[in-house]
A and B are shown apart, each in its own frame.
Chain A
Amino acid sequence: MNSTLKELGSIVLFVAVVACVPLVTDSGVTLNFVMMALYAALLAQAWNILGGFGGQFSFGHALFFGTGAYIQAIAQLQFGLNPWLALALAVTGSAAIGLGVGGLTFRYGLKGSYFALVTLAFAEVFRILALSVPFTGAGVGLMIPLSESFANMQFASRKGYLYLMLGFVAAALLVTWWLKHSRFGAYLQAVRDNEDAARAIGVNPFNVKLGAIGLSGALMGAGGAFYVQVFQYIDPGIAFGPGTSVEALVAAIVGGIGTLWGPVLGAVVLHVLADITRNMFGQLPGINMVIYGVVLVLIVMFLPRGIGGIAASVKSFFSKRGKP
Chain B
Amino acid sequence: MMFDPGILFSSVLNGLTTGAVYALIALGLTLIYGVLHIINFAHGASLMLALYAVYMLKERFGMDPYLALPLVVPGMFALGYALQRVIINRASHGKDENILLVTLGISIVMENAALLFFKSDTRTIDTAYTLTTIPIGPAMIALPKLVAFAGALVVSGVLLWIVGKTDLGRAIRAVAKEKHGAKLMGIDVDHVYAMSFGIGLACLGAAACFLLPAYYVNPQVGGGFVLVAFTVVVLGGMGSFGGALIGGLLVGVVESLGGLYLGESLGQIGIFVIFIGVLLFRPQGLFGAKV
Contact = CB atoms under 8 A, between A and B. Distances in A.
Interface of A: 57, 59, 104-105, 108, 110, 112-114, 116-118, 120-122, 124-125, 128-129, 131-132, 242, 246, 249, 253, 284-290, 292-294, 296-297, 300-301, 304
Interface string B250-269: 00000000000001011011
Interface in B96-119: 96-98, 100-102, 104-109, 111-116, 119
B108 A292 contact: yes
A242 B265 contact: no
B101 A253 contact: yes
Given A114-B283, A128-B269, A296-B108, A57 B120 contact: no
B290 to A, nearest CB: 15
Contacts of B269: 125, 128-129
Contact of B119 (A116, A117, A285): A285
- The size class of the interface chain B forms with chain A is 35 or more
Contact of A110 (B91, B106, B280): B280
Contact of A284 (B93, B116, B120, B279): B116
B106 A297 contact: yes
A255 B263 CA distance: 43
B275 interface: yes
A196 B100 CA distance: 23
B interface secondary structure, majority: helix
20 contacts: A59-B100, A108-B280, A108-B281, A112-B96, A113-B97, A117-B230, A122-B272, A125-B276, A128-B268, A246-B104, A253-B101, A287-B116, A290-B116, A293-B106, A296-B101, A296-B102, A296-B105, A297-B91, A300-B91, A301-B90
**Which 6 A-B residue pairs are closest in the complex by CB-CB distance?**
A293-B108, A286-B115, A286-B112, A293-B109, A296-B105, A297-B105
B273 interface: yes
Nearest to B224: A124
A253 B101 CA distance: 9
A70 B227 CA distance: 24
Nearest to B45: A293
Given A118-B275, A121-B227, A285-B119, 18 more contacts: A105-B280, A110-B283, A112-B97, A116-B100, A121-B276, A124-B227, A125-B272, A246-B108, A286-B113, A286-B114, A286-B116, A288-B112, A290-B112, A294-B105, A296-B105, A297-B106, A300-B98, A300-B102
Contact of B109 (A59, A113, A242, A294): A294
A131 B263 CA distance: 12
Contacts of B104: 59, 246, 249, 296
B39 interface: yes
Contacts of B120: 285
A286 B91 contact: no
